[in-house]
A and B are shown apart, each in its own frame.
Chain A
Amino acid sequence: MFKYILTRILYFIPTLLIITLLTFLLSQAAPGDPVETRLQGGQGAQGGGMSEKQAGEQAYIDMSKKLGLDLPPFYFSLGSIAEPKDLYKIFRKKERENLARLINEYGNWDRIEPYYESIKAFEVSLYDIERDTNSYSDLKILKEGINNLLNTYEEGKVSNTLSNMEQAMNTVSKLRIDSNTIIEKNYFESSIPAFTAMRDNYLAIKANPSVWKTNIPSIKWIGTGNQYHVWLFGNKPWFSKSKDPSLKGGFIRGDFGESYLDGRPVSSIIKDALPITMSLNIISVLIAYSLSVWLGVFLSKRKDSKLDRVVSIVLFILYSLPVFWVATIFIVYLTTNEYGMDWFPTYGLFSNDLSDDATFWEVAKDGGAHVILPILAMTYGSFTYITRQMRGSMLAVLKQDYIRTAVAKGLPDNKVTWKHAFRNSLIPVITMFASLFPVMISGSVVIEVIFSIPGMGRVGYEAVLARNYPVLFTVLIFSAVLTMIGILIADILYSVADPRISFTKKK
């Protein structure tokens, strides 16, 4: 038995690995730049001075390091031979993607790289330009142009931007020194070499394309210094006590990262949410099982009576009622005074006006009132399902010969039912525990979102909407582990209920 459980737990590992791969792939495919989300769109300093710009850039780099996004994504990369291995070193996601488009278009990284660098050099050179009312509008055109160049790859748009910029570069302003002398001055004279270098570099890209390179695949090995590895296994040496934020413990060492939105550690988010979902689900399962097993046995003994038929129909209807409809109906009709039935609180787990020094009973009363409807909505589905199954399997068992024997030898009815029939009819109902578990975790998404209960389901739902991948990863993996443990427990209970089933091979 122990060996069996151990093997099953070992089976968790590939399953979890595949789930991590799947979610990681999703996070890679998602649009948007988490670093910018985290810095709240902080583009550093638009139009500010050199130092501010550099500070913004530094903040970006620091944040990508902190989030572990400064590394290549995976152990290896599959791409064309035109793509360089170290493209990930371009920190800004948008610029990196644009360079990838350029490579896809022309295939000559050896020309594209100097072009990219000359754009940056030109940008730096602009900081030395004198800023006053005359140069202001042209400077603005040039800065917008740089931004455009970093984010476009289409030939027409790039040439257009370049010619606009050239016009701005060549503006000659007339400066009135005093009432008689007017001198002509080009503010941008010092930047002209940088500009021409940039333009020539672009022309060089167009002149020497090597598109064929984009059609030849190459697999590049990157090694363990990648986002996936660091996220899962960490890059901090084991048992080291270093506090360097760029060194991570990794998922398997309990370092789940931090939320993209507010930097809160994911572990603390989960610590708050998990007990809520767990306790709601456990209460719901206990209620469902304890009521329905009894009801199932009761119905099976009164098979084909009027009561049995009516209850069966009611159960079938309940079974088909969509949870989110029932929950909506509860909220719409039972929680406000709109229809005169303001019996329950509407949202959340506790009232907002609950004082901090409330006694235990006050808290329990308030919380209890809040969870009645959610638990009701969570329970009725599994309750009807289990009852129907229990009735069916009890009926099957009651037909068996050994039951007839038990009745024939004069055993009291109660003993036949509970001692002989009940145990055997329980087996299929126990296996349902396994199939019930994933349903319940999905179900808690529905219930928690509708009733605004801050459990795992709601946390996961909000993480999906905000593309908050560290949180989403953790929720998915925790749910998967819970599901697998549930299935395992069901299998073990199965062998407890039916001694004929054994997981150790008999000779």
Chain B
Amino acid sequence: MSANNKNIEKSTETAAQVEPVHKAAEDQSYSAIVKRQFRKNKPAVWSLRFIILIVIIGLSADFLANEKPLMCKYEGSTYFPVFREYIVDLGGSWPKELSSIVDWKTAEYDYAIWAPIPYGQSETDFANANYASPLDDQNVKSRRWWHWLGTDEIGRDVMSGMIHGTRIAMMVGVVSMSIASIIGIFMGAMAGYFGDEKLKTSWVNILLFFVSLPFAFFYGFQIRSYSIGEAFANSLFSALFQIFVGIIIFTVFIFVGQLIAKGLNKALKLKANTNVPIDIIVSRSIEILISVPRLLLIMSIVAIAKPSIMLVMVIIGATSWTGIARFTRGELLRVRNLEYIEAAQSLGYSEWRTIFRHAIPNSLAPVLIAIAFGVAGAILTESFLSFLGIGVEAEVATWGKLLSLARKNFSAWWLALAPGFAIFITVTIYNLMGEGLTDALDPRLKQ
């Protein structure tokens, strides 16, 4: 509803400013019009540039702030420790000479090129521990080693934390919104395309679905529960892999059940005449999810597992698909009555092909709006959770965690300002993006 209102507001506001420009040479395709509209919205264009900047900082965080030198000559040979670390993370090993280095800062290099911020996110600089202010004297060799945003209680560089926090903020957006989009688009498309009446199936299918459900759950998750648990204790990657395997086994069982049902239908000559009220099911689950206080729900899920920022992102994604589903549903309600869908149906394409190849691609544009606002919401949620210290590993720096340090020592003003400002700017930018997209995609503005 509220999104709809926003449309009304925006359309009335901008319609007056945008004079109809009719140029015969201009491309009149929908995407070209959208692009033109978007470019007219200066704040949105700037937001897009800023998002690109965030992505660049996020991707290159290791090269912007690192306690290891980017390049160094040590005992006669040249190394690239920061690059090397990626190889080590992938299962490689440090060269023998380097592995003996305990402290990267004090090792005697022939020469070394340092990252712009020569501090790691969890590196402690004992000489500047106990809240070194960026404006007062710092105990550093030269300006090159200055803590531009000060340090925290145990001497971690706040600037480095901010840069690595950018990566987390970027990942929160990408990971949680990908999950939310997959769930939301699927649910919304089902509800919008089929409604309550169009999805028909025979009672055998429904029966076999409920029969195969316990089997699928048992073989997919229950007998593997111990290995899944162990995978969670090891690493999130292996846990995700185990869950993925579980989902595949689950799907296979459900699928086999439906295949048997298909055979039975043919043998018994049953007709698909039972309605599956898919719209009601989806709308109801959206309503349920909205009614539960999301923050407490996410907290209680995160609190029973080991702290992991990835898990937080996954759970935020899994609980914030409602907006996307509503947008998709609304779009598909419109699209399903258009001629080209009728054409696809009359060509004998299967329902699934019609939905995924024809209906969904043409209704994705408005979903972008929900995603843009969703990213802002996800970043806010994640930073508040890490502000409370829930679900974030000790060695990971996030904006929310840095902000929470301000509550420990009120005199450290830089800890209250920098991370909060970063969260604010990022959220503003995604909100501006969302508004810009709302304007640009509004079909009423088409000339």
Contacts and interface: CB of A to CB of B under 8 A. Distances in A.
Interface of A: 11, 14-15, 18-19, 22-23, 26, 29-31, 78-80, 101, 104, 214-215, 217, 219, 316-317, 319-322, 324-325, 328-329, 331-333, 336, 338-339, 388-389, 391-393, 395-396, 399, 428, 431-432, 434-435, 438, 441-442, 445-446, 449-450, 457, 460-461, 464-465, 467, 472, 475-476, 479-480, 483-484, 487
Nearest to B301: A26
Contact of B12 (A399, A445, A449): A399
Contacts of B284: 14-15
Contacts of B295: 442, 445-446
B428 A317 contact: yes
Contact of A80 (B1, B223, B226, B403): B223
A332 B406 contact: yes
B48 interface: no
B207 interface: no
A391 B424 contact: no
B8 interface: yes
A464 B291 contact: no
Given A219-B214, A320-B428, A328-B406, A432 B413 contact: no
B303 A320 contact: no
B199 interface: no
Given A464-B296, A476-B297, A332 B304 contact: no
A428 B384 CA distance: 30
A461 B226 contact: no
Interface residues of B, number: 55
A270 to B, nearest CB: 14
Given A78-B222, A332-B406, A449 B411 contact: no
Contacts of A484: 291
11 contacts: A217-B222, A324-B384, A333-B413, A392-B10, A428-B5, A432-B2, A438-B294, A442-B296, A445-B293, A464-B300, A476-B296
A23 B299 CA distance: 12
Contacts of B214: 78, 217, 219
Contacts of B406: 328, 332
B299 A461 contact: yes
Given A15-B284, A320-B376, A476-B293, 8 more contacts: A19-B288, A338-B410, A395-B12, A428-B4, A450-B407, A476-B300, A479-B293, A487-B291
Interface of B: 1-2, 4-6, 8-10, 12-13, 214-215, 217-219, 222-223, 226, 284, 287-288, 290-297, 299-301, 303-304, 376, 380, 383-384, 387-388, 390, 400, 403, 406-407, 410-411, 413, 416, 420, 423-424, 427-428, 431
A393 B8 contact: yes
Contact of B294 (A338, A434, A435, A442): A442
A196 B425 CA distance: 71
Contacts of B431: 316, 319-320
A333 B390 CA distance: 25
